[in-house]
Amino acid sequence: MAVTTQLPAAFPLGSRLDERGVLELGGCDALELAREHGTPAFVVSEDDLRARARELVAAYRARTPHAEVVFAAKAFPCTAVLRVFAEEGLGCDVASGGELALALAAGMEPGRIHLHGNAKSEAELRAAVDAGIGHVVVDNVADVDKLERILGAGRTQRVQLRVTPDVWGETHAAVSTGQADSKFGVALDQAPALIARLRASDSLELVGLHFHVGSQLLDVTPYLRAVEATAALGDFPVVNVGGGLGVTYTDERPPTVEEYVAAKVDAVERFHGPGRTIVDEPGRALVANSTVTLYTVESVKRNVSTWVAVDGGMSDNLRPMLYGARYEVHVVDRFGPGDTVCHVAGKHCESGDVLARDVVLADPRPGDVLVTPATGAYGHSMASNYNGVPRPPVVFVKDGSSRVVVRRETYEDLLARDV
């Protein structure tokens, strides 16, 4: 059989097919990884994480001395991943008390943490203030009431104000956030009143504006429109332009990091003025392509279609079901060109549990190890125990060795909260 030697762009940097045509990740044989760690498993290339963080930081450094790259922890809320980014000098944004706890446990410097949320509890805000986090991103009036209560007289907190720029980014409706009718942020016409209140506050120091247009954006135009739309709100030292850079899952062509950074920096300089600190909040772009999921085929069935059923599914990757997201699938030791058009289904008890439709595999059979690339963003983070399935481990690979950074869940874990 002809063996493809070129790996698709969705795979982690440094992946390759070895002389036998077997996938190698971070110098580790994918079949051996599956044997050693079991499947399903998230396999993360540590070098890929670092390379993408460095590329983004370098692109900002090349254009402005005033930029902060803050990883959106929701994309891969795992202490080992957060620790890598802390080591690379990044900050992080957290969207809950739980993500804050993970960031602190990872050794993220509190001053580099930003807290988000459209429904922050008083306990979450108190934990953030007590930890000394850099910025709270105020989303609504209730945030201000709660923060002033928590801070009382004598304590202060730096805040950004999240505004809704009334910009629609071309992406799935579930991950578009900049439109006027959004649950996030303060409407442009209501922002001036809240800005005035924050400027008059003794305990809150308003340092900047925040907006986030949406996620998996494949075009830079929405950023420009959002930056422009917010410029009239006043003069702020910090302009937080959110995240959103799209990635390649199959055949998408996202902007390059340079194009993305240039668009954001140029727009801020043009509309908000020079010398601003630009905060970028990438999630997906830093982690999606660092990771693959390994599965084992449990059964192959032929009826109207060919159904290849694996040992995971919607409990480790909800994205195809929630957003119609498309993924590549390959047999790790028989990369294409395949001959069997099939649907790769999960093991869960519903028909919607299909990871990839109409993929072409090379004669898939029970026992084969399959790989789906680009599962680092929002895979581990949205995993569940549906059908009592233990969540997969997270395994780092680098220079030919692997280490488990999050172990596989056990049946004991499933019982651990029973009282």
Q: Which of 91, 254, 283, 392 binds ligand LLP (CB under 6 A)?
A: 283
**Residue 244 sits in the site that holds ligand LLP (CB under 6 A):** yes
**Residue 284 sits in the site that holds ligand LLP (CB under 6 A):** yes
Catalytic positions are 349
Structure tokens at 279: 């905060």
Residues in region 183-212 near ligand LLP by CB under 6 A:
212
Instruction: State the Cα–Cα distance between residues 171 and 178, nearest whole angstrom.
Output: 11
Residues in region 303-362 near ligand LLP by CB under 6 A:
319, 323
Q: Which of 26, 91, 97, 243 binds ligand LLP (CB under 6 A)?
A: 243
Question: Who's near 63: CB < 8 A, 6+ residues apart?
Answer: 261, 262, 265
Given the structure tokens 């809950």, which residue do they identify?
96
Helix axes 257-271, 221-230, angle to 10 degrees: 20
* 312 burial level (CB within 10 Å; 0-12, 13-18, 19+): buried
Q: Which of 10, 25, 72, 78 binds ligand LLP (CB under 6 A)?
A: 72
Helix axes 79-87, 46-61, angle to 10 degrees: 40
Beta carbon nearer to ligand LLP, 60 or 378:
378
Of the candidate spans 72-80, 83-91, 362-370, 407-415, the one that interacts with ligand LLP by CB under 6 A turns out to be 72-80
Instruction: State the Cα–Cα distance between residues 138 and 286, nearest whole angstrom.
Output: 25
**Residue 264 sits in the site that holds ligand LLP (CB under 6 A):** no
Compute CA 151 distance to the chain's CA centroid, rounded to the nearest angstrom: 31
Of the candidate spans 103-111, 117-125, 240-248, 298-306, the one that interacts with ligand LLP by CB under 6 A turns out to be 240-248
Minimum distance of ligand LLP from residue 319's CB (angstroms):
5
State whether residue 213 is helix, strand or coil: coil
Binding residues with ligand LLP: total (CB under 6 A): 23
**Residue 52 sits in the site that holds ligand LLP (CB under 6 A):** no
Minimum distance of ligand LLP from residue 408's CB (angstroms):
22
Look up residue 65 and give its amino acid: P
Buried-exposed string 202-236: b where 16+ CB fall within 10 A, e elsewhere: ebbebbbbbbbbbbbbbebebbbbbbebbbebeeb
Q: Is-contact 76 285, C-beta < 8 A?
A: no
Minimum distance of ligand LLP from residue 243's CB (angstroms):
3
Minimum distance of ligand LLP from residue 240's CB (angstroms):
8
Site string for ligand LLP, 8-47 (x = CB under 6 A): ----------------------------------------
Minimum distance of ligand LLP from residue 149's CB (angstroms):
24
Distance between start and end Cα atoms, the chain: 56
* 395 burial level (CB within 10 Å; 0-12, 13-18, 19+): buried
**Residue 134 sits in the site that holds ligand LLP (CB under 6 A):** no
**Residue 392 sits in the site that holds ligand LLP (CB under 6 A):** no
**Residue 75 sits in the site that holds ligand LLP (CB under 6 A):** yes
Q: Which of 13, 101, 131, 175 binds ligand LLP (CB under 6 A)?
A: 175
Which parts of this chain interact with ligand LLP (CB under 6 A)? 72, 74-75, 93, 116, 175, 177, 212, 215-216, 242-245, 281-285, 319, 323, 377-378
